[in-house]
Amino acid sequence: MSAYRIGIVCSSGGHLAQLHCLDAWWAKHERFWVTFDKPDAVSLLKGERVYWGHHPTNRNLKNLVKNSLLAVKVLVRERPDVIVSNGAGIAVPFFWLGKCIFGCKTVYVEVYDRIDSPTLTARLVRPVLDRMVVQWDDQKAFYPEGINLGAVL
């Protein structure tokens, strides 16, 4: 039996690749993924429980509403203890609804290639974070509360 029920929510592509590299951690837990129905995600997540989100997400109000409805549906069904993400926009409704309505713990991993400024997603979910994880000491300039666990990739 796993210690936690984990929701891993991220965009496909580089975001998914980074979180997929943490398999030594997430493989120990009951989990589900929320990402985009793209070839890389279909391939990487074969055999995993996956919910397909709506894209594009950046500054797209229609898909924010769709992903918020998806978040409610998934969170009711899955009841995760923890939601983990490294972005991008798909994480926003899952973090806010997960924290404020479902009482989930939230962990955000700032992407490794963003050291000169915080990402928009990190700024949007920061008010509901339980943990901010950074991959470089330079990122602590923006996230003094961040825990540096080193580079994921």
Domain CATH for 60: 3.40.50.2000
Q: What is the pLDDT of residues 92-151, one digit of tens each?
A: 999 999 999 999 999 999 999 999 999 999 999 999 999 999 999 999 999 999 999 999
- Angstrom CA distances, 133 to 37, 38, 60, 126, 145, stand at 26, 26, 26, 11, 9
In which residue are the tokens 């798909």 written? 90
Based on the structure, what is the number of domains in the chain? 1
> What domain range is 37 assigned to?
5-148
Answer whether residue 153 is part of any domain. Answer: no
80-92 pLDDT per residue, tens = 999 999 999 999 9
Tokens found for residue 57:
């997400």
